[in-house]
Amino acid sequence: MLSSLFNVAALALVADVAFGAAVSSNVANSKTAGSTASDIFPPASTKVNTALFPDESVVGFPGPTPTGKEAAAAQTAPIYPYNSGAAQSFPLAVPQPHGSSGYGDKFDITKYWGNLSPWYSVSSADYGLPEANPLIPEGCTINQMLLLYRHGARYPTSGAGPSTFAQKVHNATASGFNVTGDLTFLADWTYKLGAELLTPFGRSQNFQLGVEYRQLYGELLNNFTEQDALPVFRTQSQDRMVKTAENFAAGFFGVPEYLNQVNIEILVENSTVNNSGAPYEVCPNSNIATRGSIGSTVANKFANNAFNATLARLNSQVSGALNFTATDAIEMLQLCSYETNALGYSKFCGLFSEEDFINYEYYYDLSFYYNNGPGSPVSAAQGKGFLQEWLARFTHTYPDATSALNKTFDNSSTYFPLNQSIYADATHEVVVLDTLTAFNLTALFNGPPLSATGNQGSNTFVASKLVPFATHFTTQIMTCPSRNQTKQIRFLVNDAVVPVSDSHAGCPVDKDGLCPFDTMVNVLQKRVAEINYNYDCFGNYTASAGVNYNGRAPKS
């Protein structure tokens, strides 16, 4: 239960669906799977004994407590603190791929897990800005920062592939099977994962993200002091989303300071309530195979023949009632990802080769490119709500309800303040990608539509770079007196500065990725106007893989 000191707006309201229709959630409700009472911590009958173990307010004797000036590393640091990846930065034990390594020690399998990868810093050079840096350019001063970020590592969603594979092994045990070689461990393996909730590593990711952003942008808190106000940070009502916002806030403000230094607004996530952080709940076409889910179909088609050599090797090491299929290959690779993120290590990782991990990444590339990227007919519509809210914060005007945003709360300075210097909204990876598509950041998807054969070619889209655990999309607004127009704006994704000159008319070619503020606002307002949420989410049309729709539904 949330502390009574925690200033939270729990927003459970009647339906505010923009165009009436509602669909079932494609994200299952949070629950714990496969656990017994003896497995769960803390024990149900226990509680903290505050009489014997009083908190600091009772104990006293705090020692000197002078507060220093706020950090402003984004403005003042000479170098940026890039994150090189989970294997280097966090206590995860990641084995080498099976067999000889053509890449040597440089092959980090955690960077080939698609949306299950821990986030790492992406190079601006990957998108055509080799000289760009996340630090504020010389001669500019940061005024405002807007952050959209994903929850950290979680357990699988309820009924997902890993638990299905575990059930298959369990069922085969009744009939008997034998394993040898690489699979010997499977004879004693048991499924140890929960469902939906953040893992300890996932909590640390969001906490560390909060610490990083306090170091980079803490100076902007001075604006709240001047206004005599507390910031409002937003999240969704699923347990992992609430814990995400809390851990981020704890990292940003400190413990227990975050309990009374930030308002955390919890927006209900289900199929009867509009919510820009969960737009798939109220966009029926999101879950139709020939529309918003074409990525799942093309990814599964690719996987059917992507792991043949490894499946032949693994099936030669098992006899009896167990035989592995292409679906099992994906599920075992997912177990590699999930077990490593949850338990710190997984023996499933060592079953697969470098080529397998490259194909595993491409499986997710296809899925996300066509479900929530430019190859999706509904992604821009689903990201439109956040785009409208971003513009509202830019222009200090409340948005129109022509998307999945919740107008009930987006017209109130209490729940949707327009004058904050720091914004931080937590959401899901699909919504981050929907939003990047709605913002028309085409440099992230540059190249031909992804091919189902596995030949990505020159396309810049890589799921692990854009939608990993704790991924984050940052907007920096600054004044630059040395520029012709002093107010400038730019976008960063996982530390990579994204160029906008080719996709946003009027934005100049700029080595730092800057665009005049008024120009960008005008371009994004036009983008909002061209996205037909009603048609894209409710219309009758057919979409197919192999097309870059720019996130928009095809016209019949």
Stronger pLDDT, 318 or 79, i.e. the higher one: 318
Look up residue 317 and give its amino acid: Q
Across 331-353, average pLDDT: 95
**pLDDT value at 22 more than 50:** no
Lowest mean per-residue pLDDT among 35-44, 68-77, 311-320, 540-549 = 35-44
Q: Identify the CATH number of the domain defined by range 8-37+70-538.
A: 3.40.50.1240
**In 295-449, beta strands by DSSP E:** 318-320, 422-427
Percent with pLDDT over 70 in the chain: 88
* pLDDT averaged over every residue in the chain: 88
Q: For the segment 68-106, what is each residue's pLDDT rounded down to a tens digit?
A: 677 788 888 888 888 887 544 556 777 778 875 666 667
Domain map (residue ranges) of the chain: 8-37+70-538
> How far is residue 155's CA from residue 33's CA, in Å, rounded to a whole number?
10
Residue environment code for 99-126, b if the CB has 16+ CB neighbours within 10 A, otherwise e: eeeeeeeeebbbbbbbbbbbbbbbebeb
- Given this model, what pLDDT does residue 32 score? 33
DSSP 8-state assignment for residue 11: E
- Given this model, what pLDDT does residue 458 score? 87
Who's near 191: CB < 8 A, 6+ residues apart? Answer: 34, 162, 163, 166, 170
DSSP 8-state assignment for residue 42: S
- Given this model, what pLDDT does residue 12 score? 36
Burial of 12 (0-12, 13-18, 19+ CB in 10 A): exposed
- Given this model, what pLDDT does residue 72 score? 83
Percent with pLDDT over 90 in the chain: 75
C-beta separation of 232 from 420 below 8 A: yes
> How far is residue 341's CA from residue 507's CA, in Å, rounded to a whole number?
40
Q: For the segment 270-286, what is each residue's pLDDT rounded down to a tens digit?
A: 898 999 999 999 999 99
C-beta separation of 304 from 326 below 8 A: yes
> How far is residue 403's CA from residue 405's CA, in Å, rounded to a whole number?
6
Return the bridge partners of 336, or none: none
**In 12-94, beta strands by DSSP E:** none
C-beta separation of 320 from 177 below 8 A: yes
- In what helix (H) or strand (E) does residue 436 lie, and over which residues does it extend? helix 429-438
> How far is residue 378's CA from residue 372's CA, in Å, rounded to a whole number?
7
Token readout for 472 is: 């984050």
Query: Closest by alpha carbon to 310, among 343, 292, 333?
Result: 333
Bridge-based pairing of strands 472-479 and 141-150 is antiparallel
Token readout for 64 is: 């000197």
- Given this model, what pLDDT does residue 37 score? 54
- Given this model, what pLDDT does residue 511 score? 97
Who's near 413: CB < 8 A, 6+ residues apart? Answer: none
Stronger pLDDT, 503 or 94, i.e. the higher one: 503
Query: Closest by alpha carbon to 119, among 86, 162, 161, 156?
Result: 86
> How many CA atoms, within 13 angstroms, populate the side-chain half-sphere of residue 6?
19
- Given this model, what pLDDT does residue 105 score? 66
- In what helix (H) or strand (E) does residue 522 lie, and over which residues does it extend? helix 517-530
**pLDDT value at 16 more than 50:** no
The residue with tokens 């371009």 is 523
Across 442-462, average pLDDT: 91
The radius of gyration computed from the CA coordinates of the chain, to the nearest angstrom, equals 24
Q: Could you give phi then psi for residue 267, rounded to 5 degrees?
A: -95, 130
- Given this model, what pLDDT does residue 184 score? 96
Q: For the segment 319-339, what is each residue's pLDDT rounded down to a tens digit?
A: 999 999 999 999 999 999 999
**pLDDT value at 135 more than 50:** yes
- Given this model, what pLDDT does residue 90 score? 56
Q: CA 415: distance to chain centroid?
A: 23
Across 191-218, average pLDDT: 95
**pLDDT value at 31 more than 50:** no
**pLDDT value at 23 more than 50:** no
Lowest mean per-residue pLDDT among 100-104, 150-154, 297-301, 471-475 = 100-104
Q: Which of the residue ranges 16-20, 48-52, 546-550 has the most confident prediction, judged by mean pLDDT?
A: 546-550
